Amino acid sequence: MTTGASVTGLGATTPLGGDVASTWAAMLEGRSGISLIEDDWAHDLPVRIAGRMRVDPAEVLGRVKARRLDRCQQAALVAAQQAWADAGAPEVEPERLAVVIGTGVGGMLTTLAQDDLMEADGPKKVSPYTVPMLMPNGPAATVSIEFGAKGGAHTPVSACASGAEAIAMGLDLIRLGRADVVIAGGAEACVHPLTLAGFAQARALSRRNDAPQEASRPFDAGRDGFVLGEGAAVVVLEREGFAAARVGQGGARVHATLAGAGTTSDAHHITAADSAGQVRAMRLALASAELSPLEVGHVNAHATSTPSGDLTETLSITKALGTHPAVTATKSMTGHMCGAAGAMGAIATILALRDGVVPATVNVDDLDPEVKLDVVIGGPRQGGWTAAMTNSFGFGGHNASLAFIR
């Protein structure tokens, strides 16, 4: 029998809340974290809406610590601290503790801000912390230093699949015997005029500037693109025997088990998704978890609210699992958190299994007739699912599916 990994800790900072509890409560209430960008720099942009973190991570960490970290790193550290505390701060040998934090672009805000500073005031004004703040492995390095993790600090950079790939890698590290505990997840903070303009030019973003909270509408017939979000989500994974011993001693609880994962690459197109790769990722996750399609009762879909992407995933889910799972798209509330999206989807899936309730997909006023799935709309749905899956797909043809059991 294939072994899984016990999920003992959850942490997040999102457009819906500064922690897991507030984010989950907002999801169940169907609230949106999307708002109009009031900054002066956004006035001339075609898209002026985004999902910014509800709680500024710098306020949590303190000014002295935060000033040496990019906003992406700040978010990762806040989420990791929460997850570690939720796991009961496991006592583990440093060499048996690993970190895997994925990101799509890393310290982009630092890169652009320091470049502006150099052009305006010269090279002597550039911060000596620039390189540590901009490097994509910065979030993983920051978290590994915080917790003294010497079992490896890894950084999957696979666009919007980064957070899910990080969790999949965490499972691999445990299965390979390289770690007893892994802090895994994703972080992103790139709400900036350059990213908004770039995505807008690619016609990937919703332009509902007059109705921010209604802009992200996965599976709705009137969807017109995704909404850029930011934040971080982190889980603590433990070898099952290691977690069981701590549970027996009253030092931990298991939220769910990460039973399997599947990652694939399309080798198809830099931005257009390929259903075959998505299907294969889901089937690999099923095989890794030793689950049949009929056992999967719930899917947290990647579903970003793009016209073509949602339909491609609809086809993929139907082929890999069928039409019976209860499907939701929590990006309708958080927006697309890019490198953190897969990890946030994983946490929402874990909580749906643990609590027996799936949040509704909001803003579905007119379900696309081509979406032949059981999309949860109108309010949360109660259920006793024993297995669930979450999907993450990224530019470049990166696909990652995670399978959890209760």
Question: Parallel, antiparallel, or unpaired: how do β-strands 387-394 and 298-300 relate?
Answer: parallel
153: left (phi over 0), alpha (psi -120 to 50) or beta: beta
Q: Are 313 and 274 in contact (CB under 8 A)?
A: no
CB of 340 closer than 8 Å to CB of 187: yes
Q: Which amino acid is residue 59, in one-letter code?
A: E
Active site residue 255: no
Of the candidates 298, 302, 338, 398, the residue annotated as catalytic is 302
Distance between CA atoms of residues 371 and 272, nearest Å: 19
Q: Is 160 a catalytic residue?
A: yes
Dist. CA 333–CA 34, nearest whole Å: 7
Judge contact between 220 and 365, C-beta under 8 A: yes
- Alpha-carbon gap, residue 206 to 106, rounded angstroms: 23
Please report where in the chains the tokens 């070898």 appear, as a residue: 239
Options 154, 192, 255, 336, the catalytic residue = 336
Out of 160, 190, 298, 398, which one is annotated catalytic?
A: 160
- Measured in degrees and rounded to the nearest 5, phi and psi for residue 330 equal -75, -10
DSSP 18: S
Whether residue 43 lies in the annotated active site = no
| Packed helices 341-355 and 20-29: angle between N→C axes, nearest 10 degrees | 70
Among all residues, which ones are annotated catalytic? 160, 302, 336
